[in-house]
Each structure stands twice: as structure tokens, then as C-alpha cells.
Amino acid sequence: MLHEDIKNNIKGAMLAKNLVLLETLRAMVAGFINELVSKNRKPNELLNDMEALVVINRLARQRKDSIEQYKKGNRQDLVKEEEAQLIILETYLPKLMDK
């Protein structure tokens, strides 16, 4: 399951000392927990893959909005950070079809 895989990847990110990946994975797990709580389920349950993809897609949209706002505010340091997180999030999303 995607939810379980992401939780397990946190340990690898810690060992690799990859802070961007670690922060992104933790944000995904927090999003999963928020989704479970909003659906009146226990926080220690796991989301199925479709529910997890909905959460990841929501997080990716948030990153895109943040990038747009930071570009308007000339905050290139924050733009780079959000873009790095967006790339990681997109690795968990299914690829879109070409036209």
C-alpha cells in the first residue's frame, strides 16, 4: 500500500540525511492522518491507494500555489524549496497521458 510505503521511506530519508525528502514524506503522512481523522477513522489506520493519491494530489496543488505566490513575492529561496518538494510528490502520482 502506498500509505505504508511512504511511512517506511521516512526511515531511509533519515539515514540518508535527505532533509527535503524527509520533510516531504512527513508532510504526506500528516496529510494522511488529517484525511483519516476527517473521515472519522482512527489515525493509526492506513488509507487505501486511491485515498492516498487524493491526499498527495492535494499536497501537490498546494505546492504549485505556493510556488506561484513565492514567485510573485520574489522569494526564490522558497520557490526552490517548494519545487523540490513538488518533484518528490509527483513521483508518487500516476503519470498523465500525452496528447
Q: Residues 33-50: pLDDT tens digits?
A: 999 999 999 999 999 999
pTM of the shown model: 0.88
pLDDT in tens, the chain (99 residues): 899 999 999 999 999 999 999 999 999 999 999 999 999 999 999 999 999 999 999 999 999 999 999 999 999 999 999 999 999 999 999 886 666
Total residues found in the chain within this entry: 99
- Integer Cα distance of 79 and 69 in angstroms: 9
- CB burial of residue 55 (10 Å; 0-12, 13-18, 19+): buried
